[in-house]
């Protein structure tokens, strides 16, 4: 499964304005909820409950908030860049700039883990992360993700 099989262009936010964890998650959830036709507060609640278990800030400036919701049919994915960086309680205590938000149907454990793993692996590539950080708009971000996704 490729990232762009799930990530819709409308869910790519090239310049997040939020300054804290909850606000970033809410900002990322808005377009995903709109695309899926569900209440963004539901997504926010699920993701914040997951964050209470442990931060999804995996270090190197990356956050991958994720969770499961019972009443959706397919994986939902959002992407955002924070130019200033946000304290996301990452394992390396550094600001987080690159975010992928993943919501999966309750019964899609394998697909959820497959896409989560793919995102984490692709983000290990430092030049890829650098290109994302310097992307100026949604089209450029989608193009960079597509290029890396196809090469991976």
- pLDDT at position 85: 97
Domain range list for the chain: 3-151
In angstroms, the CA 71 to CA 87 distance is 31
CATH superfamily of 3-151: Mannitol-specific EII; Chain A (3.40.930.10)
Cβ-proximal residues to 18 (8 Å cutoff; 6+ apart), any chain: 24, 26, 27, 82, 86
Outline where the chain has alpha helix (H).
Answer: 21-36, 40-53, 109-122, 126-134, 138-151
Return the percentage of the chain with pLDDT > 70, whole number: 100
Give the pLDDT band of residue 144 (cuts 50, 70, 90): very high
Token pair recorded at residue 6: 């799930």
Is residue 27 over pLDDT 90?
yes
Is residue 121 over pLDDT 80?
yes
The catalytic residues are 66
Give the pLDDT band of residue 56 (cuts 50, 70, 90): very high
The model carries a pTM of 0.96
Confirm if 103 and 67 have CB atoms less than 8 A apart: yes
Is residue 133 over pLDDT 80?
yes
């Amino acid at each position: 499964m490729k990232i762009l099989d799930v990530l819709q262009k409308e869910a790519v936010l090239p310049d997040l304005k939020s300054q804290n964890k909850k606000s970033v998650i809410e900002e990322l959830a808005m377009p995903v909820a709109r695309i899926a036709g569900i209440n963004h507060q539901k997504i926010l609640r699920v993701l914040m409950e997951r964050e209470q278990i442990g931060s999804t800030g995996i270090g190197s400036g990356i956050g991958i908030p994720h969770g499961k919701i019972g009443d959706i049919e397919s994986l939902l994915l959002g992407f955002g860049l924070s130019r200033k960086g946000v304290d996301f309680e990452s394992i390396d205590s550094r600001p987080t700039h690159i975010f992928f938000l993943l919501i999966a149907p309750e019964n899609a454990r394998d697909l959820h883990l497959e896409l989560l793993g793919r995102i984490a692996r692709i983000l290990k590539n430092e030049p890829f992360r650098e290109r994302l950080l310097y992307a100026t708009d949604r089209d450029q971000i989608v193009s960079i993700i597509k290029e890396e996704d196809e090469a991976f």
